[in-house]
Amino acid sequence: MSFVNELGPHLPFLRRYARALTGSQNSGDAHVRAALEAAIADRSALDTSLPARVALYRLFHAVWNSAGATLDAANDEGEAGSGPEDRLRRLPPVSRQALLLTAMENFSGKEAAQILGVSDDEVDQLTDKAREEIDAVLKTNVFIIEDEPIIAADLRRIVESLGHEVAGQARTKTEALERAIPAKPGLVLADIQLADNSSGIDAVHEILKSHTCPVIFITAFPERLLTGERPEPTYLITKPFLPDAVKAAIGQALFFA
């Protein structure tokens, strides 16, 4: 199997990462596509001394960094706006990348350092800085759709540790619609397989008809959502999850909301 073919299994997760990093499915996919085109056009663009997944993310970052000026130039007037591009300009982008790579994508500190081209110690410093900066951006109320009581309790603790409030919880689609719609949450955390075999995806779609907010899906079956067909969720966490992965996703979701 060629090195390029080895990249295939990692592409759905790179697309997830790219969407979380850019806040846009279209923008994220464009950067992923550019990275693949670079790999096809020039085999040396991929560092074959690295594991395929690390090499792929490293190449993606090379492409991302070459196009990053488009975001930096988003506000040429110099005014302090409140949109995600404006907030992005005020945060260290490498810090956010280090946090997402280690917390959401589960790279080791050494692997993240190889991807970003920094030292192992710098990755730790960047990650800490990102948590401080992103957590301070926005506080909100969060609705949790999860049928496992222990997991729901873990999510509640994570949400509250970040300074957010829990607007409510639900175990089924019916409960979610009854409780989430009047609560008007600023963020929804949702499993996709609920207690009565109803769908968390369907519940979220109904909630979003009446109230717009970011959604993070948390599931043991990411392949049900990472299909390559549109639309895909911008934020998707795989069970069993690490608390840092949830924290990173919450920060990114609110950052781009």
Q: Where are the beta strands (DSSP E) in the chain?
A: 141-145, 165-170, 187-190, 215-219, 235-238
What was the pLDDT predicted at 75?
37
The alpha carbon of 237 is separated from its chain's Cα centroid by a whole number of angstroms, namely 8
Rounded-to-10 torsion of CA 128, 133, 138, 141: 0
Query: pTM of this prediction?
Result: 0.58
Q: Mean pLDDT over residues 149-167, rounded?
A: 95
Percent of the chain with pLDDT over 70: 84
For 36-50, 146-160, 179-193, which range has the lowest pLDDT when averaged over its residues? 36-50
- DSSP SS3 for 228: coil
Helical axes 120-135 vs 109-116, angle rounded to 10°: 90
Six token digits for residue 94: 């490498």
- The model's pLDDT over 37-82, given as tens digits with 9 standing for 90+, comes to 988 888 888 898 999 999 999 999 998 888 653 443 343 344 445 5
Q: What is the pLDDT of residue 145?
A: 97
pLDDT of residue 71: 42
Is residue 154 very low, low, confident or very high in pLDDT (cuts 50, 70, 90)? very high
Q: Looking at the predicted structure, is the pLDDT value of residue 161 above 90?
A: yes
Band (pLDDT 50/70/90 cuts) for residue 166 is: very high
Determine phi and psi for 170, rounding to 5 degrees: -150, 150
Residues 3-11 have a mean pLDDT of 81
Task: Single out the residue of 235, 218, 237, 215 nearest to residue 140, CA to CA.
Answer: 215
Under 8 Å between Cβ of 143 and 165: no
Quote the pLDDT of residue 49. 92
Q: What's the DSSP call for residue 110?
A: H
What's the pLDDT score for residue 78?
42
Q: What is the pLDDT of residues 201-249, one digit of tens each?
A: 999 999 999 989 999 999 888 877 776 665 567 788 999 999 989 998 9
Is 90 exceeded by the pLDDT of residue 116? yes
